[in-house]
Every structure is written in C-alpha cells, then in structure tokens.
Amino acid sequence: MADSLDRLYQAVLAARDLDPATSRTARLFQRGSGKMAKKLAEEAIEVVIDAVNGNREAVIRESADLLYNLTVLWASAGVRPEDVWAEMRRRENLLGIAEKLPKSRIGKPAAPHATRRPVIPQEARAVRKHR
Ligand SMILES: N=c1c2ncn([C@@H]3O[C@H](COP(=O)(O)OP(=O)(O)OP(=O)(O)O)[C@@H](O)[C@H]3O)c2ncn1[C@@H]1O[C@H](COP(=O)(O)O)[C@@H](O)[C@H]1O
C-alpha cells in the first residue's frame, strides 16, 4: 500500500501545475485547502455510509477516492508520505517496547505523575489569559 500511495503522491505533485480545465488535481490546488478538506471529508463520510450499509464494493471504491483526496491534502500541507510512514514506524516501535514490558506493568502508566498536566493556580491562569 505504501508503494501505491507513494506513486499516487508523485502523480498528484506532477498534476498540481497542469491546466485546471483538464486536471481535477490542478483544480483542487487552484481552489485551495478548504475545498480539498471538504472533498476529503465527503469521501470519508461516503466510506462510512457504505460500510454501515454493508456495501463492500462501494467501500473499496470510495476508499480509493478517500486516499486520493488525502494525498492531495498532504501535498498541499507540505506533508510527504514518508513523514507519515515514519510516524507509523515510531508508533510501531513504541508498541514493540510496550510488549517487552513485564506483564504487571501493562495498562499502567510508566510514571503515574508524568502523564498528568501540571496544576496551575487559579491566579496564574487569570494572569496568563489577559496577557
Ligand atoms: N487517483 C486519482 C483519483 N482517485 C479518485 N479520483 C477522482 O476523484 C473523484 C471522486 O470525487 P467525487 O466523487 O467527488 O467525483 P465527482 O462525482 O466527479 O465530483 P466532483 O469532483 O466533480 O465534484 C473520482 O470520481 C475520481 O475521478 C482521482 N483523480 C485522480 N487520480 C490520479 O491523480 C493523478 C492526476 O490526475 P488529474 O487530477 O486527472 O490530473 C492521476 O495519476 C490520476 O490517476
């Protein structure tokens, strides 16, 4: 899947500066990130509806549209597929570390106080807000 998305991303980059009259991708870039985001959200909703309705073939088709629109938004946001793969690898490694923890530690935070937000006195909050 990563290979297909890498190729699609390159195709999107190549189409970015084509004539908007003939290229859907160029048209999306012309209209801007708001339009791209709207298209992505629409495709996501279509996937969800088709899945809930049990329409497997439509889920496949709409998923391909969803991934296309996601790569367009990545390109617009300056995000490269390899940036996303790197984040996925980071999470995979973290999980790998979690799996190596003793069973007694699973489900418990490593340091109980480390995950808590620091307590800020009310007066300090008010000062910060009005700065
Ligand atoms: N992979 C895709 C791709 N996947 C999906 N889509 C289009 O996105 C549409 C999904 O959006 P919609 O359902 O909203 O389509 P629509 O009903 O025609 O609605 P509108 O976009 O007209 O509003 C699909 O019908 C496809 O036409 C894609 N359009 C382009 N690509 C690739 O992007 C590259 C650049 O292509 P151009 O944009 O044509 O230059 C090429 O490599 C293409 O293969």
Rounded to whole angstroms, how far apart are CA atoms 46 and 54? 12
Q: What ipTM was estimated for this complex?
A: 0.88
Report whether residue 15 contacts ligand 1, using a CB cutoff of 6 Å.
yes
What is the structure's pLDDT at 104? 67
- Summarised one tens digit per residue, pLDDT across range 84-94 is 999 999 999 98
Rounded to whole angstroms, how far apart are CA atoms 67 and 25? 13
Report whether residue 65 contacts ligand 1, using a CB cutoff of 6 Å.
yes
Here the tokens at position 79 are: 């995000």
Residue 85, helix vs strand vs coil: helix
Q: Is the pTM of this model over 0.80?
A: no
Rounded to whole angstroms, how far apart are CA atoms 7 and 14? 11
Class at the top of the CATH hierarchy for domain 2-79 = mainly alpha
- Summarised one tens digit per residue, pLDDT across range 95-124 is 887 777 776 655 565 555 545 555 454 544
Long-range contacts of 85-89 (CB under 8 A, 24+ apart): 85/2
DSSP code, position 103:
G
Report whether residue 44 contacts ligand 1, using a CB cutoff of 6 Å.
no
Give residue 15's pLDDT band: very low, low, confident or very high (50, 70, 90). Answer: very high
The protein residue with its alpha carbon nearest to ligand 1, atom 25, reads: 65
The residue type found at 130 is H
Per-domain residue ranges for the chain?
2-79, 80-131
Report whether residue 24 contacts ligand 1, using a CB cutoff of 6 Å.
yes
- Summarised one tens digit per residue, pLDDT across range 21-80 is 999 999 999 999 999 999 999 999 999 999 999 999 999 999 999 999 999 999 999 999
